[in-house]
Structure 1
Amino acid sequence: MLFSIFENSKKRNLISTAPKYLISIVGPTAIGKTALSIKLAQHFKTEIISADSRQFFKEMQIGTAAPSNEELASAKHHFIHHKSVQDNYNVGTFEKDAISCLDQLFKTNNVAIMVGGSGLYNDAVTKGLDYFPEVKPSIREELNKELEINGLEPLITQLKALDLITYNTISLDNPHRVIRALEVCVGSGKPYSSFLNKEKNKRPFTTITVGLTADRELIYNRINQRVDIMINNGLLEEVKTLLPHEDLNALNTVGYKELFRYLSGEWTLEFAISEIKKNTRRFAKRQLTWFKRNESTLWFDYESDLENIITSIKEQIS
């Protein structure tokens, strides 16, 4: 008994003093990140943090391609369906929650896995966030009122005049992103982009980023197939249950916003589905652009042998 206690204590001390590694799995949607994350978690006997900003919400299961119950049972996951679409949960809060979770995981394991296609949320954990000056709530209220009355175009035009760099880099079809950038420009009197890429908090772990990719045509075909599967699995019925909340930011999401327009009578179902496919392909293109910025990423074809990926990771660790 005493020997067992001594050995367990010795093991804990070795873990506490050893370097920590976060294996971050990135890539375009529908490429196979979830499957790889589970295999790596099983190999390293560790747990998975989801950095997919839409899989947080329990009401959005089908349209976010969240892990199935079987997949969730294959490895312990964090930040899957732990919030409601009505909760005000943003990237800053996620950063704090994820770092706190990693602190706990690293007490019992030197390796943790993170997976997700939301580039900003991924970077929040691996690099830390850029910090911005406080802005009066009234500025956002005015911008939201402008959006409601006149639509997104005048806000985009205003952003172009105040911060051309941000205008050229963010998703201009995302009202939340446009308003966030504008409120900083207006509230601080400085471009939103001037606050980016400053020195951030250093992380007490090393990130090893693994990227999955494929030929663009194959990625697009996989996306089209996934959308068809989602529709067959009941995505339209899921969207119908969310109609009372369609104005929430969480639901300004590909797969949901298009079907809202079908349900309002604006589009046919066939056209809405074609728009989901088109917008998801555009999203995948933006994901690849975002993730390709990281020159240290270990890129693999989506059909690469698992052992080759594990070998490359272990070479980075050693």
Structure 2
Amino acid sequence: MTNFLISIVGPTAIGKTALSIKLANHFNAEIISADSRQFFKEMAIGTAVPFKEELEAATHYFIQNKSITDHYNVGDFEQEAITKIENLHHKNPVVVMVGGSGLYVKAVTKGLDYFPEIDPNIRTELNTQFENNGLSALQNQLQMLDPEAFKTIAIANPQRVIRALEICIGTGKPYSSFLTNSEKNRDFKTISIGLNAERSIIYDRINQRVDIMIENGLLEEVKSLLPYKHLNALNTVGYKELFNYFEGTWTLDFAISEIKKNTRRFAKRQLTWFKKDESITWFDFKTDINEIIEHIKTTIKIS
């Protein structure tokens, strides 16, 4: 019997969690999260971790299973997620995966490119440069060493920039030269479902979600994490803006407006990433669940 992974992607706040639960319940399946921000148990409100009722509606994995102090990367996730999917397929031929972290989705569905081991001191030095000089200095360095990577990676993400730089420095070769785009063989077939909407609707949903996060206690969550603000996991939308508020750099209203703006930009980058994948079948976020189920059933039969 062929095993399947139903991968649900799309921009933030589009309704991926709700769809994943409906599909998991229909196919009697369990859910793998590929949202890299939801791995961390200290970050619940600002990462839109599913509510208690949602987590109880279907079995979820890789949600709040790590600490912000843990060293955890996409390669670790690839190995752990593939092992978990293989185990789940012993019980059911269908597993659902949901998340908007494009690189983490790709790690599971297509595999990652191979990179050589790099002297950890290089990353330590780059992190020190980031703390002392900021992201723009690292971006400029990457643009000189690897213009192709500068154009293609998530340049606003310090972790991505530092990763690309450490490969450039540690190997003497461009980071982009290691990107083969060759897919790994998987013991399952992936059915990729994308949710989308008009940009104005996506932006409205994002603004509403941020307001709800504030109401649900985001300020208290971020305040409790102030001692850890130097960690990479916390250099992310929803947290870095409020750190500026607590440090007196920004007003609260401005910090909230920046969260909304940066989340909208993040959603735009998500769509740019996923739109490159021609294997994804896109549906409007209001599409009736039965239409999506029929598409999946048809794809399974054809396979």
Q: Which has the larger displacement, 95-104 or 173-182?
A: 173-182
| CA distance in structure 2 between the partners assigned to 1:287 and 1:173 by the alignment | 13
Letter in 1 for 2:148: I
Cα-Cα RMSD:
1.0
Structure 2 residue 1 is the aligned partner of structure 1 residue 29: no
Aligned to 2:202: 219
Letter in 1 for 2:146: D
For the pair 1:252 / 2:235, whether they are aligned, the reply is yes
Counterpart in the other structure of 2:45: 62
* Range that drifts further, 167-176 or 80-89: 167-176
**Partner of 1:270: helix, strand, or coil?**
helix
Deviation at 1:89, TM superposition (A): 1.3
Q: CA deviation at 1:189?
A: 1.1
Equivalent residue, structure 2, for 1:5 = none
1:182 aligns with 2:165: yes
> Match of 2:153?
170
Cα offset, 1:107, TM superposition? 0.3
1:123 maps onto 2:106 in alignment? yes
Moved over 4 A (4+): none
Provide the residue aligned with 1:312 in structure 2: 295
Pairing partner for 2:265 from 274, 277, 282? 282
Cα deviation code 1:155-206 (max 9, x no counterpart)? 2111111111110112222222111101101111111011113434310100
Larger deviation: 37-46 or 172-181? Answer: 172-181
Matches of 2:188 and 2:163, distance apart in 1: 30
Is 1:147 the counterpart of 2:130? The answer is yes
User: How many residues are aligned here?
Assistant: 301
Counterpart residue number, 1:14: none
What is the identity, as a one-letter code, of the residue corresponding to 1:31?
A: I
Distance 2:12 2:181 in 1: 29
Partners of 1:148 and 1:246 in 2: CA distance: 11
Specify the alignment match of 1:9 in structure 2.
none
Partner of 1:101: 84
**How many Å separate the matches in 2 of 1:68 and 1:132?**
37
Give 1:151 shift. Answer: 2.2
Gaps of 5+ in 2: none
Asked if residue 201 in structure 1 is aligned to residue 212 in structure 2, the reply is no
User: 1:250 Cα deviation (Å)?
Assistant: 0.7
Q: CA deviation at 1:228?
A: 0.3
- Secondary structure, aligned partner of 1:168: helix
- Note the C-alpha offset of 1:136: 1.2
**Partner Cα separation in structure 2 for residue 193 and residue 59 of structure 1:** 33
Residue 130 of structure 1 aligns to which amino acid in structure 2? D
Stretches of structure 1 that go unaligned for 5 or more consecutive residues are: 1-17
Give, in whole Å, the separation in 1 of the partners of 2:29 and 2:22.
Answer: 10
1:77 aligned residue: 60
SS at match of 1:275: helix
Aligned equivalents of 1:199, 1:73: Cα separation in 2: 37
- Deviation of the 1:152 alpha carbon: 2.2
Shift of 1:144: 2.1
Deviations 1:56-80 (A, max 9, x none): 1111111111111100110000011
CA distance in 1, matches of 2:220, 2:131: 27
How many percent of aligned residue pairs carry the same amino acid? 66
SS of the residue 1:144 aligns to: helix
Counterpart residue identity of residue 243, structure 1: L
